[in-house]
Amino acid sequence: MSEGANPSRPPLKLDLNKAAQSLRLSLDKAGVSQDIQAELIFDIDVSGSFEHEHEEGTTSQLIERLVPYGMVLDPDGAMDVFTFSNDAHTVYHVGTVTPAEAEGYILREVVENVPGWKGGTTYSHVLERNLQHFGWLEPEGGFIAAVSRFFGAERPKPSNQKRSIVIFVTDGENATEDEARTMRVLSSSEARGDNVYFLFIGACEHNVEFKFLKTIARRYKNTGVVIVRDLEAFVEQSDEQISAQLLGPELVAWLKK
């Protein structure tokens, strides 16, 4: 923890099994089948402006509130965690988080421990890595991609494609120079028919309008956005209140396909 950082927030008193049951009930009420599965990724912005929320433990508590989504939907009952700030070299797969590991996860595994800590903010590179991780996109420089390019053949789709949800949390706007690249990543994913839903959470109490997030949410049918102006209050809500905000009509419709 950096010098002068605020002490950690008091731990949440959570029953994650109860939270998972509440989420399943919300999905049942929405008409989502019991056997629906989707692998989950949690992307967390580690830019300098988000440092306070990480070091005081608020984003660790956010992970705790989202772990039930992995428990209910992910075949492994866990979420993969990626961190990012600006550019490709800052994208980092921290690992998976299970219910037993959720408390204090960001404080323990991320703060001052990941590439790009306290950097800037670009969205496209981590989204690209997410699509590669789920099997929808061939990693750049991969053998199959290289051979296909050499012979002028159309690049084949990767194997092991997994129905998947990306929960992407940022406290700031995307860098202007990365907006076109982010749109290309999402447009290419849509054109391929990737079975992925992107849920963007813009979390900032200051005057950040999240115009770009709102633009891509309008543009793509598999992209939603939730704006959170008080993250501390958000993580302290009831299970039902959190589900009501995150399970929007578009995501529910995607889960029912």
181 domain residue, yes or no: yes
Which pLDDT tens digit goes with each residue over 14-56? 899 999 999 999 999 999 999 999 999 999 999 999 999 999 9
- Is 144 part of any domain? no
Question: What would the two tokens of residue 155 be?
Answer: 């690049």
Can you say whether the dihedral through the CA atoms of 146, 150, 151, 154 is positive or negative?
A: positive
Question: What's the rounded Cα separation, in Å, for the pair 228 and 67?
Answer: 18
Asked if residue 136 lies in contact with residue 189, where contact means CB atoms within 8 angstroms, the answer is: yes
Determine what percent of the chain is predicted with pLDDT higher than 70. 90
Q: CATH no. for residue 173?
A: 3.40.50.410
160 pLDDT band, cuts 50/70/90, is confident
Q: Within a domain: residue 151?
A: no
3-state SS assignment for residue 93 = strand
126 in a structural domain: no
Question: Is residue 176 predicted with pLDDT exceeding 80?
Answer: yes
Predicted confidence at residue 217, as pLDDT, reads 96
Rounded Cα distance, 20 and 41, in Å: 17
Please tell me the predicted confidence (pLDDT) of residue 128: 98
Q: In Å, how far are 72, 75, 101, 115 from 35, measured between CA atoms? A: 10, 10, 25, 37
Residue-number span of the structural domain to which 241 is assigned: 20-26+35-117+162-255
The answer on pLDDT for 239 being more than 70 is: yes
Q: For residue 138, is it within any domain?
A: no
At 182-206, the pLDDT tens digits run 999 999 999 999 999 999 999 998 8
For residue 62, being part of any structural domain is answered with yes
Q: Does residue 131 sit within a domain? A: no
pLDDT digits (tens, 9 = 90+) for 58-89: 999 999 999 999 999 999 999 999 999 999 99
Total Cβ atoms within 10 A of residue 106: 26
What average pLDDT does this structure show over 227-241?
A: 96
Q: Is position 204 within any domain? A: yes
The answer to whether 242 and 201 have CB atoms below 8 angstroms apart is no
- pLDDT for 5 equals 45
Interatomic CA distance for residues 35 and 33, integer angstroms: 5
DSSP 18-43: HHHHHHHHHHHHTT--TT---EEEEE
- Give the number of domains in the chain: 1
Per-residue pLDDT reduced to its tens digit, 161-171 = 999 999 999 99
Q: What is the pLDDT of residues 198-227, one digit of tens each?
A: 999 999 988 889 999 999 999 999 999 999
- Check pLDDT > 60 for residue 120: yes
Judged by DSSP in three states, 2 sits in coil
